[in-house]
Amino acid sequence: MFDVDTIRAFLDDAHAAFAADADTFARAELRARAEPVSDDAARREARVILELLGHGWLEPIPARDLRKIALAREAIAAASPLADAVYALQALGAMPIVLADGGASARWVKEAVAGRAMGAFAMTEDDAGSDVASMRTTATRDGAGWVLNGEKAFISNAGIADFYTVFAQTEAGKGSKGIACYVVPADTPGLAFAGAQVLSSPHPLGRIRFDDCHVSAETCLAGPGDGFKLGLATLDLLRATVGAAACGMAARALEEAIAHARERRQFGESLAGFQLVREKLARMATELAAARLLVYRAAWVKDRGAARVTLESAMAKSYATEAAQRIVDEAVQILGGRGVLADHPVDRLYRSVRALRIYEGTTEIQRLVIAGQLLDRGKG
């Protein structure tokens, strides 16, 4: 059952009820779904999952209810890392439109929340990961509209998304001050899927290419310079929910490890009777509790009206994702050979949790952000 008690100080009654409902949904509808055996199968499965999520679970996104988004991701990630990826991309694809009050593009938010349209967040390039300002995809004015050229890489939902939130450079040499943001429907001429990038854990990922892709003025969510700010605001808002997903994966790993320790017998007694196993379980549970407190503190601060939660979110994501990696690894160790069998939930968690330490800002970048925030305090 979803552990509400640890984070209860950061939840009101409605959030506590939502957590219980999300846990029930995830266990009933997602946990038993088989892991796709190929990239093509993962792409088909992502569509099925999106339809399931469209029955109300995505509604906290346009409401900007960060605690509900975090609670949903934690429950969903514990049941299915692929389903969490689907949820995360609906948030990342739609949130820039929400924050920018996207006008004509607002229709995509409604479709995304209903599970009828799949979103994608197209910022990363081969040479523009942590250094977003070095992106080379260009946007050139063409009358009232724009023409996009370039290629994006490591884009979740590439090839299956119905719309892409795209960041592009409008003027060479301007860096972050030249970046704008656009909503580009997948069927726009000049936009093409440029191939899959296959992960060890099922996750639709790939490249998209823009070849003289004409988009109207209405698709521009934020002009030169403001696009970079919009991208950072989106990541700042949602970053703590990556930590929530990490907590969900860690909680599932701990659950599996405890069950195995109780049932598995070696040398005449259960694993739970060995002090080294107990030490591992105690450390796993403590790290999980600490991670969840950081995550829901960040979400609570934002939901109470804070303009930015840069420090809180960076702490939450960096600690929770690193802790989850350690917790899942310890779960594999407790399960032994069973923990590395491809059909075991802990093996799937082991393959899935690693990416969380990289996407939406690596742990190293988050620590630089934390230090910068601390050093800037008290400056005149």
- What percent of the chain shows pLDDT beyond 90? 89
CATH number for the domain spanning 147: value is 2.40.110.10
Catalytic residue among 35, 74, 125, 360: 360
Give the mean pLDDT of 209-237: 94
Residue ranges with strand state E in 186-317: 191-196, 205-215, 220-222, 265-266, 269-270
In the block, tokens 């296959």 appear at: 198
Strand partners, 164: 120, 184
Q: In this predicted model, which residue has the larger pLDDT, 342 or 255?
A: 255
Q: Are both 239 and 359 inside the same structural domain?
A: yes
CA distance 66 to 164: 22
Give the pLDDT score at 5.
94
| Count of the separate structural domains present in the chain | 3
User: In which band, very low, low, confident or very high, does the pLDDT at 263 lie, cut at 50, 70 and 90?
Assistant: very high
Residue 228 has pLDDT above 70, yes or no: yes
> Last residue of a domain, which of 227, 261, 293?
227
What are 84-134's pLDDT values in tens digits? 999 999 999 999 999 998 787 899 999 999 999 999 999 999 988 788 888
Give the pLDDT score at 104.
78
Q: Are both 44 and 133 inside the same structural domain?
A: no
Q: Are both 364 and 284 inside the same structural domain?
A: yes
Q: Are both 96 and 136 inside the same structural domain?
A: no
User: In which band, very low, low, confident or very high, does the pLDDT at 251 lie, cut at 50, 70 and 90?
Assistant: very high
Give the pLDDT score at 123.
95
Q: Are both 96 and 49 inside the same structural domain?
A: yes
Q: Are both 258 and 366 inside the same structural domain?
A: yes
Residue 10 DSSP code: G
Q: Are both 247 and 363 inside the same structural domain?
A: yes
Give the pLDDT score at 201.
86
Give the pLDDT score at 379.
75
Q: Are both 259 and 358 inside the same structural domain?
A: yes
CA distance 342 to 327: 18
312 is catalytic: no
> Last residue of a domain, which of 202, 227, 252?
227
User: In which band, very low, low, confident or very high, does the pLDDT at 15 lie, cut at 50, 70 and 90?
Assistant: very high
Give the mean pLDDT of 41-48: 96
Q: Are both 311 and 281 inside the same structural domain?
A: yes
Mean pLDDT of all residues belonging to the chain: 95
Give the pLDDT score at 113.
97
In the block, tokens 């593009």 appear at: 105
pTM: 0.95
Q: Are both 125 and 216 inside the same structural domain?
A: yes
CATH number for the domain spanning 49: value is 1.10.540.10
**Burial (CB count within 10 angstroms: exposed 0-12, middle 13-18, buried 19+), residue 282:** exposed
Residue 13 has pLDDT above 90, yes or no: yes
Alpha-carbon distances of 287 from 19, 280, 336, rounded to whole Å? 21, 11, 21
Phi-psi region of 69 (alpha: psi -120 to 50; beta: other; left: phi over 0): alpha
Q: Are both 292 and 187 inside the same structural domain?
A: no
User: In which band, very low, low, confident or very high, does the pLDDT at 380 lie, cut at 50, 70 and 90?
Assistant: low
Q: Which domain holds residue 153?
A: 119-227
What are 140-195's pLDDT values in tens digits? 999 889 999 999 999 999 999 999 999 999 988 888 899 999 999 999 999 999 99
Give the pLDDT score at 248.
98
Give the pLDDT score at 1.
67
Give the mean pLDDT of 23-51: 96
> Last residue of a domain, which of 209, 227, 245?
227
Q: Are both 288 and 311 inside the same structural domain?
A: yes
CATH number for the domain spanning 344: value is 1.20.140.10
